Amino acid sequence: MISEDKIAEIRERAPIADVIGNYVALKKSGNSLKGLCPFHNEKTPSFYVHPNRGFYHCFGCKASGDIFSFLMHVEGKTFPEVARDLAEQTGVQLPVYDPQREAEFQRNKKQTERFSSVMEKATEYYSAQLHEHPDGGIARAEYADRGISEEWARKFRLGYAPHGWDSLARFLERAGVSPSDAEAVGLIAPRRSGRGHYDRFRHRLMFPVTDVHGRVVAFSGRALEPAPSMEEQKEPPAKYLNSPENPLYHKGEILYGLHEGRVEIRREDHAVLCEGNFDLVALHQAGFENALAPMGTAFTEAHAKLIKRFAQKVTFLFDGDMAGRKAVREAYAVVTKAGLSAHVVNLPQGADPDSFLRAEGAQSLRTRIVSAPTIIEHLIDDAAGNVEPNPRAKADAIAKLGPILAEVESPIERGLYVERVARKFGVADLSLVKRELRRGLGRGKERAPVRRDAVRQDIAPPVSELQSKLISVLIDQPTLVDHQGVHKLPQLLTNPDLRAIFDVILRMVDRQGVLDVAALLDEVNDNRLRPWLEAKLAVQQHSLEEARQILDDGLPLLERKNIEQELPRLQQRIVEARRVGDDALAAGLTREFVELTRSAHKLKANAKQR
């Protein structure tokens, strides 16, 4: 709800050449500026910026628009996000429509800015120590031995954390940083005995980790060879030490190198995912500036969604060891759900991208990336290449591929994959291969692998992870149906099938005091979520204490999520009521909107107190 006057004011105060010039190298061309398009891969510039018109256009991919559309496209942001960013940068005052929400936003913004300032000071300190501290040469030798140049070390702002117990803590104190702020972002920790704090990172090569906006939100510190001045260590430190999660940093939502590589990823419509910090920097230095790396965690749905904002294709470039193969297998379900086109580079056993680049060179790696098989082809080849050489093992390995091939919608693609399975496993009879694939689906019927939607109907969890978990804990610990807040579940559960399961559980426990599994399954015989329920009943996951904690945290969270989903719909109804002149309805809906907003804030405040 930003007026055209404000949009025009932002355009006037943010020259399009300056904005786009932060992403694209522009050169004068008549009355315009031109450069390589950030939205597609090209060698000859076809991207033109017209400063007087406040407009850009690419004659190659036909992308065009103003500063708002440019930033929405290149940063993967919404219009309100871009408008607010530009307004803050240019000093344009936007109107406030919801004072309570705006006040909360400003509070969070000030905290974020304060924490970001602390992280920036720490980054500058580590960077200075790399060259000023007597032991900084050990850190410089560490990346130099890997072939990382000083230029690229500066680009990624590498640094050195001295081995003293409180070097950073004392520096931040002199800089006026509150110890509580430094502790909140994981830079220092309270001493176990006595007063004061100690540095979390000591005698390590430091890699600052930025979010998609370029703010340093965490650090990854690599252990170094002991310095001569250090005391003898009782045991070797962990190879890598990463920042703990904090208000700025959630490791499952951060990809190292995304800010540095986002323009190249958008241009190529392709991201390359590696595993290590050195791998990432080495890849960028070698010209693979679309490379990313998760921060010491598995590839998550949040990672996939983040990549999807910038590209449709991802290539996994994991280490060629057992852990790398396992990571690819686990990533398959994630990329499938996100709708990403996924490929896998097969590195030699024991190799990682960094060592491969130094041994074979960038062109050899580029060839492997260009010719990388799809993730399904890789999983087929991997299964065939690591199976025991006996018929039973081969049959079981083929069966395990059934659910994977069932996800493929195109019958032509699926048929080609079936042929690949037969070829890789050395089975001449395709009908036998198809039979084993069907066996892997748990369907003994003689028919082709089912389509993806049919498979998902059988295995998909109901509605959301949170709602299914709340019902799961009640299945594991049915006495908790009397727990505070459980009575609200009939109104909070958004799926009628899940609600029906809860109703039966409630009735059964109320009547018998326990769950009768056979009777429960009989009562939900026609329920579409029966396969999920059967799988849940097969394994008990939660103790009484764990279940109680999940309900304490999850019920208010679900209530808040439902309210947050309802508020935009309610807002739309208010707008519609005012449009048709129904002031009484609009007033009633507005009161309801205010009450729901207060409830959401209260639930959020209570959650923070926990």
Tens digits of residue pLDDT in 183-213: 999 999 998 877 889 999 999 999 999 998 8
pLDDT tens digits, one per residue of 68-84? 989 988 887 888 888 88
Beta bridge partners of 206: 159, 221
Judged by average pLDDT, the poorest of 192-196, 288-292, 300-304 is: 192-196
The CA distances from residue 559 to 168, 321, 467, 499, in Å, are 42, 44, 11, 15
> If pLDDT is split at 50, 70 and 90, which confidence band does 1 have?
low
The three-class DSSP label of residue 436 is helix
Q: Higher model confidence: residue 602 or residue 417?
A: 417
pLDDT tens digits, one per residue of 17-28? 999 988 888 898
Q: Are 340 and 303 in contact (CB under 8 A)?
A: no
- Reported as type and span, the H/E element at residue 557 is helix 544-579
pLDDT tens digits, one per residue of 488-504? 888 888 888 888 888 88
- Looking at residue 460, its pLDDT comes to 42
> If pLDDT is split at 50, 70 and 90, which confidence band does 444 have?
very low
Could you give the CA distance from residue 178 to residue 164 in angstroms, rounded to a whole number? 20
Could you give the CA distance from residue 512 to residue 504 in angstroms, rounded to a whole number? 12
H helix intervals, 133-201: 136-144, 150-155, 167-174, 179-184
Instruction: List for the chain the helix, strand, coil content (%; round to 5).
Output: 55, 10, 35
- Looking at residue 162, its pLDDT comes to 95
- Looking at residue 144, its pLDDT comes to 95
When the pLDDT of each residue in the chain is averaged and rounded to a whole number, the result is 86
Q: Domains of the chain (ranges plus CATH)? A: 4-90 (3.90.580.10), 110-225+238-249 (3.90.980.10), 253-372 (3.40.1360.10), 379-459 (no CATH), 465-605 (1.10.860)
Highest mean pLDDT: which of 11-20, 136-145, 520-529, 546-555?
136-145
Could you give the CA distance from residue 68 to residue 590 in angstroms, rounded to a whole number? 31
First-last CA distance in the chain: 35
Looking at the chain, the whole-number percentage of residues with pLDDT higher than 70 is: 93
Instruction: List the structure tokens of 359.
Output: 């041994």
Residue 92 φ/ψ, nearest 5 degrees:
-80, 130
Average pLDDT of the residues in 335-341? 90
> If pLDDT is split at 50, 70 and 90, which confidence band does 456 have?
very low
Q: Is the pTM above the cut of 0.75?
A: no
- Looking at residue 462, its pLDDT comes to 47
